Amino acid sequence: MAIRTKKSRQAKTLRIFRKVHRITASFLFLFFFFMASTGILLGLKKHSGGVLQSKSYSGVSSEMKSWISIDSLYANASKIFRDSISETLPLDVDRIEIHKGKGMIKFIFQRGFWGVQLDATTGKLLHIERRRADFVEKVHDGSILDYSFGTSNGQIKLVYTMVMGISLLLFTITGFWLWYGPKRMRKSSSVKKQ
């Protein structure tokens, strides 16, 4: 009687885990699909032949003492942005990347996923880049919704990453138990028969 009760409890636990696993999978299928596919793209970005991530070009000198001031370089990048990319997008900079070894400075603008690479010594344009990897990264971590709706502090990203992290943890636990539970039940049944 005790053996049957223990076995029925184990079977009930397995059914619960299977149900949690199935329900979580059905609700989050698309999110897992996007997260996995964008994760693969992000892993390949440096090997995409410039499709996802542009090559970093080299300027004249890597000696910082010969470089133009940041505000002058920003003025050049802004003019290039207005002339070659958009007359209407804001000129707000998301970040500035300094590639000292290449003598290059990159201005990455907040809107439109654009970057402008300048020679840090001359201020001349080296390359205008479409930042596709930044877009893919925003889809991957859910911040694309914060970007689209203009939310502050990344609230949507926070909720998205928490839901996805907890779901992945639930998948791991329930998946392990769905694999291990039947083995455990068979083992306990064979031990009782002996």
What is the tens place of the pLDDT at every residue in 129-172?
A: 999 999 999 999 999 999 999 998 899 999 999 999 999 898 88
pLDDT above 60 for 1: no
Of residues 12 and 45, which shows the higher confidence score?
A: 45
**pTM for this prediction:** 0.81
**Mean pLDDT taken over the chain:** 91
pLDDT above 90 for 7: no
β-pairing verdict for 114-119 and 104-109: antiparallel
Q: φ and ψ at 120, to 5 degrees?
A: -70, -20
- Note whether 64 and 102 are within 8 A (CB): no
Q: Which tokens hold the place of 167? A: 């779901």
Q: Which tokens hold the place of 189? A: 């049944």
* DSSP conformational letter for 160: H
Banded model confidence at residue 180, pLDDT cuts 50, 70, 90: confident
Q: Which tokens hold the place of 44? A: 């390949």
The crossing angle, in degrees rounded to 10, of helices 2-44 and 155-193 is 140
Q: φ and ψ at 66, to 5 degrees?
A: -95, 0
**For residue 181, what pLDDT is reported?**
81
pLDDT above 70 for 190: no
Average pLDDT over residues 183-192: 71
Residue 145 identity (one-letter amino acid): L
Banded model confidence at residue 193, pLDDT cuts 50, 70, 90: low
pLDDT above 80 for 186: no
Domain extent listing, the chain: 2-45+140-193, 55-130
**For residue 148, what pLDDT is reported?**
93
Of residues 153 and 190, which shows the higher confidence score?
A: 153
**CA–CA distances in Å: residue 34 to residues 49, 50, 136, 150:** 22, 22, 10, 21
What is the tens place of the pLDDT at every residue in 40-96?
A: 999 999 999 999 999 999 999 999 999 999 999 999 999 999 999 999 999 999 999
